[in-house]
């Protein structure tokens, strides 16, 4: 078992912004120096946290096909990492919509509700399949525990001041106490120069407040 962090990744969606590259391949399977972005991202985390437990929500045919081939049981990541594959489909939707479903919110909440014993007291680091970021998850966990005395959420952001393409990203505005007071998604008028990286840390008991 890893120190005090598990990783949860939602692999869904159709990656339309990367067409035509993702017409026949999932975004997680694109080639970056003979490695996929998902494998590179997980190796960055696993290098810092041995025996890392990773849970990947697979949605859509391509993700269900390609990701297990690449990651297997975690042995391709190294440093004792273990990969567990999670499946969640909304039974209220027709089969065709479930196959294409890229919505990850319900799947994540279902994971929290059904995996309490597996999660235990460990923090949940949520990432996307293409999060290539130079950060230390242990530092993020230390900050999270220091700031949140009870269940809480910590959002990873990066500063993009004076860059013309900031409107392509979701932006985050903070109050004086550092708490998030506004999200603005891909707006021509950003909330701030800080963009949401899609790297988020949750306390294990946060599901009760969702």
The token pair that represents 176 in the structure block: 């004086």
Q: Is residue 137 part of a domain?
A: no
Q: Is the pLDDT of residue 99 over 50?
A: no
23, exposed or middle or buried, with CB in 10 Å at 0-12, 13-18, 19+?
exposed
77 within some domain: yes
**Residue 188 confidence (pLDDT):** 86
Answer yes or no: is 176 within a domain: no
Residue pair 181/44 in contact by the 8 Å Cβ criterion: no
Of 129 and 88, the structure prediction assigns the larger pLDDT to: 129
pLDDT, tens only, 4-13: 999 999 887 6
pLDDT number for residue 1 = 42
- Are 78 and 35 in contact by the 8 Å Cβ rule? The answer is no
pLDDT surpasses 80 at 78: yes
CA angle 57, 31, 61 (to 5 degrees): 35
Instruction: Tell me the CATH number at 15.
Output: 3.90.550.10
Q: Has residue 61 been placed in a domain?
A: yes
């Amino acid at each position: 078992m890893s120190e005090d962090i598990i990783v949860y990744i939602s692999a869904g969606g159709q990656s339309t912004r990367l067409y035509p590259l993702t017409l026949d391949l999932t975004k997680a399977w694109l080639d970056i120096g003979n490695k996929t972005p998902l494998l590179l991202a997980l190796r960055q985390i696993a290098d810092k946290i041995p025996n890392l437990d990773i849970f990947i929500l697979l949605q859509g045919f391509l993700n269900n096909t390609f990701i297990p081939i690449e990651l297997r049981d975690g042995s391709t990541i190294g440093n004792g990492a273990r990969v567990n594959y999670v499946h969640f489909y909304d039974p209220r939707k027709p089969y065709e919509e479930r196959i294409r479903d890229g919505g990850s919110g319900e799947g994540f909440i279902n994971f929290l509700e059904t995996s309490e014993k597996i999660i235990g007291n460990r923090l949940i680091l949520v990432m996307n399949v293409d999060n290539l970021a130079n950060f230390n998850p242990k530092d993020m966990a230390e900050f999270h525990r220091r700031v949140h005395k009870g269940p809480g959420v910590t959002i990873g952001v990066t500063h993009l001041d004076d860059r013309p393409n900031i409107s392509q990203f979701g932006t985050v505005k903070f109050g004086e106490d550092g708490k998030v007071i506004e999200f603005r998604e891909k707006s021509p008028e950003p909330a701030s120069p800080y963009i949401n990286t899609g790297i988020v840390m949750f306390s294990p008991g946060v599901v009760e407040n969702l």
